[in-house]
């Protein structure tokens, strides 16, 4: 079981992913930004290694505008060697890696243009992981997408589109249950038709479910992971007290986390902590396992 946190480290004195707006785009600035992001990733991995945090979600804006028409620069060639070196570090130490494209990646979009843009964005994510020469245990996680007032057909459209995706995407894709539209049971329908592994999100499940007990749900999702996919991934977060349902807590609630761990039984999986204070909570959680 590996513990991780997403994208940002508040301890390491290195700011990756600095604001980069389309208006200020230039190839020069793009190169500087990528170089800076890679340096920060290096430092964060170093921090994680020395603190035993072996699961990390890489930020999607490692290469800003990578799938946007404005980007005609071959970042793949320019930074190939650097990506390969970071990948070697990841493999040497056994880090688990995931990525999570933003909500506008919609495989089941009604608008074919949105689907096509989504594919480009997924290709970018896959290229990044391929350049690092990581195997298919490094996952790209997304949500099912929109409902469009017709969930059965939106699910069908997801499945149909999924089958058209390039293999480099399919082997890395994982689906996460969300808290508004697609529950674990909905994701399972898609899993049965595609084999796509399901990342179980604990808080989303608490907000949107079909009456399954947490422990059973965890097991159901874990069974969707094949041999090549590696250990199941789980997104854990706790509810922010007194806030709207689904809001992430500022810091980990260790009692709640212990309770969650007690539900897992014999299961093993890697846990991504989606909590505001990032590595601080991950460090506390890592002490418990």
Partner DNA sequence: ATCGGTCAAGGGGCA
Partner DNA sequence: TGCCCCTTGACCGAT
Please, which of residues 129-188 interact with DNA by CB under 7 A?
145-149, 179-181
Distance of CA 205 to the CA centre of its chain: 17
Window 265-284: contact mask with DNA (x via CB under 7 A)? ---------x-x--------
Q: Which of 35, 39, 103, 258 binds DNA (CB under 7 A)?
A: 103
8 in contact with DNA (CB under 7 A): yes
CB 179, min distance to DNA, A: 7
C-alpha dihedral sign at 92, 286, 178, 186: positive
CB 104, min distance to DNA, A: 4
- Is 19 or 50 the residue whose CB approaches DNA more closely? 19
CB 7, min distance to DNA, A: 8
Q: Which of 49, 114, 189, 254 binds DNA (CB under 7 A)?
A: 114
111 in contact with DNA (CB under 7 A): yes
User: CB-based burial of residue 152 (10 Å sphere; 0-12 exposed, 13-18 middle, 19+ buried)?
Assistant: exposed
Count the site residues for DNA by CB under 7 A. 39
190 in contact with DNA (CB under 7 A): no
18 in contact with DNA (CB under 7 A): yes
C-alpha dihedral sign at 65, 66, 68, 69: positive
244 in contact with DNA (CB under 7 A): yes
Distance of CA 14 to the CA centre of its chain: 22
User: CB-based burial of residue 89 (10 Å sphere; 0-12 exposed, 13-18 middle, 19+ buried)?
Assistant: middle
CB 282, min distance to DNA, A: 14
Please, which of residues 47-76 interact with DNA by CB under 7 A?
60-61, 64-68
256 in contact with DNA (CB under 7 A): no
109 in contact with DNA (CB under 7 A): yes
Q: Which of 123, 168, 206, 246 binds DNA (CB under 7 A)?
A: 246
Q: In sequence order, what are the beta bridge partners of 96? A: 55
CB 134, min distance to DNA, A: 21
Binding interface with DNA (CB under 7 A): 8, 15, 18-19, 21-24, 60-61, 64-68, 102-104, 106, 109-111, 114, 117, 121, 145-149, 179-181, 244, 246-248, 274, 276
């Amino acid at each position: 079981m590996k513990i991780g946190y997403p994208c940002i480290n508040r301890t390491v004195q290195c700011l990756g992913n600095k604001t980069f707006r389309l208006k200020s785009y230039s190839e020069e600035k793009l190169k500087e930004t990528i170089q800076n992001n890679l340096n920060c990733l290096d430092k964060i991995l170093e921090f994680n290694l020395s603190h035993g945090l072996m699961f990390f979600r890489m930020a999607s804006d490692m290469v800003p505008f990578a799938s946007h028409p404005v980007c005609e620069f071959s970042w793949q060639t320019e930074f190939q060697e650097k990506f390969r070196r970071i990948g070697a570090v990841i493999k040497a130490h056994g880090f688990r890696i995931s990525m999570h494209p933003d909500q506008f990646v919609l495989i089941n979009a009604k608008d074919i243009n949105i689907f096509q843009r989504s594919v480009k964005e997924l290709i970018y994510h896959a290229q990044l992981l391929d350049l690092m020469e990581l195997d298919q245990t490094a996952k790209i996680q997304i949500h099912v997408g929109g409902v469009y007032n017709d969930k059965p057909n939106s699910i069908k459209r997801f499945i149909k589109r999924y089958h058209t995706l390039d293999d480099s995407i399919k082997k890395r894709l994982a689906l996460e249950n969300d808290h508004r539209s697609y529950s674990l049971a909905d994701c399972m329908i898609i899993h049965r038709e595609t084999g796509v592994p399901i990342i179980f999100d604990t808080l989303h499940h608490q907000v949107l479910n079909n009456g399954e007990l947490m422990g059973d749900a965890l097991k159901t999702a874990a069974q969707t992971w094949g041999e090549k996919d590696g250990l199941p991934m789980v997104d854990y977060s706790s509810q922010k007290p007194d806030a709207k349902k689904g809001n992430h807590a500022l810091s980990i609630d260790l009692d709640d986390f212990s309770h969650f761990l007690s539900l897992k039984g014999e299961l093993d999986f890697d846990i991504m902590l989606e909590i505001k204070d990032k590595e601080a909570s991950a460090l506390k959680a890592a002490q418990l396992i």
